């Protein structure tokens, strides 16, 4: 069982004032209600990171993540954001390989291996997303697809580096669709992922990795998903934009 983590992916949502309001609300409710053994992560768009970080610094189990980073350390890459910059703002986590980035920005497993390396080299922690699209699920290819994503982007790491990675299993057909994976489907894939890690790095490393579920997770379905043996929390999209829902999900253990 990995550390319990609930991360909110705000995607490209919220203007300045609304971002600050949401972050303040989350922090205030978390202070009163969140168990100290749950790690809460908010992942706003880049432009809001600095302000949100300032608002959350008073709570020890609330952390901030970015939604992406460059493969490069610095230089002539207009529009890109380096991990070093994120580090200089005290950012703790970086989401890598979200399905939207794989689909719209054609991020490959190879590119994500580079991003994983540069995140870890800078001392930040990757939240690595994997998951199959609907046609792959319907063709029974989910294990093959997720296995390749993990092997090609992460399995070059040594055990010490790998232990720092958080994995988010997000069946693409469940993201933003209102269709959640059943508990059986989620548990089956999480157990498969943990098994693959155990084969490569040993059971002790596998047991310590947090494997989050993502895909239309809401306060109503989080308790049953989080009760699955190999589900260590969630990566939350839409519901992370409402402070009450986000915290209620995080309280679902």
- Residue 220 interacts with ligand PEP (CB under 6 A)? no
The single residue of 48, 98, 107, 132 carrying the catalytic annotation is 98
Q: Is 170 a catalytic residue?
A: yes
Rounded Cα distance between 241 and 251, Å, is 16
Determine the interface stretch with ligand PEP among 58-66, 143-151, 188-196, 229-237 (rule: CB under 6 A): 229-237
Rounded Cα distance between 125 and 108, Å, is 19
**Contact set for ligand PEP, span 50-79 (CB under 6 A):** none
- From residue 153, give the alpha-carbon distance in Å to each of 44, 110, 142: 24, 6, 17
**The binder of ligand PEP chosen from 117, 132, 170, 230 (CB under 6 A):** 170
Residue 47: which of 7, 18, 6 has the closest Cα?
A: 18
Least Cβ distance, residue 55 to ligand PEP (angstroms): 22
- Residue 7 interacts with ligand PEP (CB under 6 A)? no
* Structure-token pair, residue 159: 């055990």
- Residue 9 interacts with ligand PEP (CB under 6 A)? yes
Least Cβ distance, residue 42 to ligand PEP (angstroms): 13
The 10 Å Cβ neighbour count of residue 122 is 18
- Residue 22 interacts with ligand PEP (CB under 6 A)? no
Residue 220: which of 175, 178, 163 has the closest Cα?
A: 178
Least Cβ distance, residue 1 to ligand PEP (angstroms): 21
Which is nearer to ligand PEP, 215 or 233 (by Cβ)? 215
75-84 long-range contacts (CB < 8 A, ≥24 apart) are 81/46, 82/118, 83/118, 83/119, 83/121, 83/122, 83/124, 84/122
- Residue 236 interacts with ligand PEP (CB under 6 A)? yes
- Which residue's Cβ lies closest to ligand PEP? 237
* Structure-token pair, residue 36: 């100290």
Rounded Cα distance between 94 and 53, Å, is 14
Determine the interface stretch with ligand PEP among 53-61, 79-87, 153-161, 170-178 (rule: CB under 6 A): 170-178
- Residue 97 interacts with ligand PEP (CB under 6 A)? no
Q: Is 48 a catalytic residue?
A: no
**The binder of ligand PEP chosen from 175, 186, 249, 250 (CB under 6 A):** 175
What is the DSSP pairing of strand 233-236 with strand 211-214?
parallel
Alpha helices in the chain (DSSP H): 16-33, 49-56, 83-88, 99-104, 109-121, 134-138, 142-154, 159-162, 183-201, 203-208, 222-226, 243-250
**Contact set for ligand PEP, span 196-215 (CB under 6 A):** 214-215
- Residue 216 interacts with ligand PEP (CB under 6 A)? yes
What 3-state DSSP class applies to 161? helix
- Residue 187 interacts with ligand PEP (CB under 6 A)? no
| Residues with active-site annotation | 98, 170
Residues forming contacts to ligand PEP in the complex (CB under 6 A) are: 9, 170, 175-176, 214-217, 235-239
């Amino acid at each position: 069982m990995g550390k319990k983590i609930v991360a909110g992916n705000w995607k490209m949502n919220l203007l300045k004032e609304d971002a600050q309001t949401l972050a303040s609300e989350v922090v205030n409710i978390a202070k009163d209600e969140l168990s100290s053994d749950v790690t809460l992560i908010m992942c706003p768009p880049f432009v809001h990171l600095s302000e949100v970080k300032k608002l959350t610094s008073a709570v020890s189990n609330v952390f901030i993540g970015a939604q992406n980073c460059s493969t490069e350390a610095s230089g002539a890459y207009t529009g890109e954001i380096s991990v070093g910059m994120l580090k200089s703002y005290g950012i703790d986590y970086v989401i890598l390989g979200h399905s939207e980035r794989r689909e719209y920005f054609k991020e490959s497993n190879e590119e994500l291996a580079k991003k994983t390396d540069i995140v870890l080299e800078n001392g930040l922690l990757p939240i690595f997303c994997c998951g199959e699209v609907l046609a792959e699920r319907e063709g029974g290819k989910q294990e093959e697809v997720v296995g390749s994503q993990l092997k090609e982007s992460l399995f070059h790491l040594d055990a010490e580096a790998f232990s720092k990675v958080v994995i988010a299993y997000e069946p693409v057909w469940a993201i933003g669709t209102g269709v959640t994976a059943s508990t059986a489907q989620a548990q089956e894939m999480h157990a498969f992922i943990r098994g693959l890690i155990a084969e490569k790095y040993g059971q002790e490393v596998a047991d310590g990795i947090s494997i989050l579920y993502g895909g239309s997770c809401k306060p109503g379905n989080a308790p049953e998903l989080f009760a699955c043996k190999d589900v260590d929390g969630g990566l939350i999209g839409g519901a992370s934009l409402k402070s009450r829902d986000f915290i209620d999900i995080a309280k679902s253990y």
